[in-house]
Copies of this chain bind each other. A is one copy, B any other.
Amino acid sequence: MARPTLVSLARELGVSRQTVSNVINAPHLVKTETRERVQAAIEASGYRPNVAAQALRNRRSMTLAMRMHPTLEDGINGAIRDRFLHHLVVAARAQGYSLLLTTADSFDDEVDVLTEMHVRGTIDGCVLTDTHAGDSRPSRLVANGVPVAAFGRPWGHDERHPWVDVEGWRGTHAATNHLLEAGHERIGFIGWPGNSDTGVDRRTGWERAMAEHGYGAETGRWQAERVDQIEQGMEAAEKLLDEGVEAFVCASDSLALGALEAVRRRGFEGLEAPVIGFDNTPVARAMGLSSLDQPVEQAAEVLCRQLVARIAASQDATGSVEDEHVLLEPTLVVRELAEMYAPVED
């Protein structure tokens, strides 16, 4: 027994296929009596419109795509991506869209893959993540006519596409203030080497807060740059502790975990360790490390809305919409150190 179609339903009911279609897409056009009869038949038969036919006819696939980056050191870490992805799917669904996952070997390849999908009508638009300085993906995709929305601002470029980003500096700023208010004075910062935009951004918040409290002169001495590993964090923290630093804001949870270990070994007062990480990873939660949480849920939602608006604009040919550029703020999650990791007594 084949699946019912508009035509088969219409035939059975003795009406035209158009009437059935109207019952679904423009019920107000159909006489109540007919409508109810048709609706009953639709439900009884379990009829569902075929998406391929709709896509062909409407020229929209109601599908978005996003590249699944291989887990990289410097990209969004696994846990965050997992959360982001989940919310993205939910947000897309809420707008009637599906999310398709893709892979690519490189950023260049990503542009090709996404463009191809768009040309073939597989997707209506795409989400970009892991933006970086000099990232040419957005402009190239836009040039190819592919609607784009990015998670991450276009560092240094003034791109013509909507994006959402999290203002890391506001997070580290809040974290620094929190430590200062808790009575600590010499707050250090452990960040990444090089001038990655995210890295500079996160350090800036600390610098600013310190300057605001009259420690501007010390920000040169009280900071360290290490690659993103626990051990590196610990080593850096020990060096800074020797210089008199007593609390730490870190660019990542990995570095923070290292700093935490260093701090534990020297002991500290109270239940809350004077160390704050970034990204609020599961480990941080498990150990009781305070951390900055990125509002990925909200980011996913905004991103989706932007993208859908962009798609609508690109199809209505009503011209361009105002590109939204949204900045969100991380939330400081304060925790007490898990008992088992309480500082080692001297």
Contact = CB atoms under 8 A, between A and B. Distances in A.
Contacts of A68: 85-86, 89
A37 interface: no
Contacts of A283: 283
A120 B55 CA distance: 12
Interface string A302-346: 000000000000000000000000000000000000111100100
A101 interface: yes
Nearest to A99: B101
18 contacts: A3-B119, A50-B56, A51-B61, A52-B52, A52-B55, A52-B56, A71-B83, A77-B282, A78-B82, A78-B282, A82-B82, A85-B101, A89-B101, A100-B100, A230-B338, A235-B340, A254-B286, A344-B344
Contact of A340 (B78, B79, B230, B338): B230
Interface in A218-265: 229-231, 234-235, 254, 257-258, 261
A70 B297 CA distance: 12
Nearest 5 CB-CB pairs, A to B? A52-B55, A52-B56, A78-B82, A89-B101, A78-B79
Interface of A: 3, 46, 48-53, 55-56, 61, 63, 68, 70-71, 77-79, 81-83, 85-86, 89-90, 93, 98-103, 116, 119-122, 229-231, 234-235, 254, 257-258, 261, 282-283, 286-287, 338-341, 344
Given A50-B121, A79-B79, A93-B102, 13 more contacts: A48-B120, A53-B121, A78-B83, A86-B103, A90-B103, A98-B101, A98-B102, A230-B287, A231-B338, A231-B339, A235-B340, A254-B286, A261-B340
Contacts of A51: 61, 120-122
Contacts of A338: 230-231
A98 B100 CA distance: 7
* Identical chains in the assembly: 2
Contacts of A61: 51-52
A266 B317 CA distance: 71
A55 B63 CA distance: 14
A49 B120 CA distance: 6
Nearest to A55: B52
B120 A230 contact: no
Contact of A122 (B81, B89, B98, B286): B98
Contacts of A116: 48
A142 B68 CA distance: 29
Q: Which of A78, A230, A234 has the most CB of B within 10 A?
A: A78
Contacts of A46: 119
Contacts of A122: 51, 98
A58 B257 CA distance: 54
B56 A340 contact: no
Nearest to A258: B340
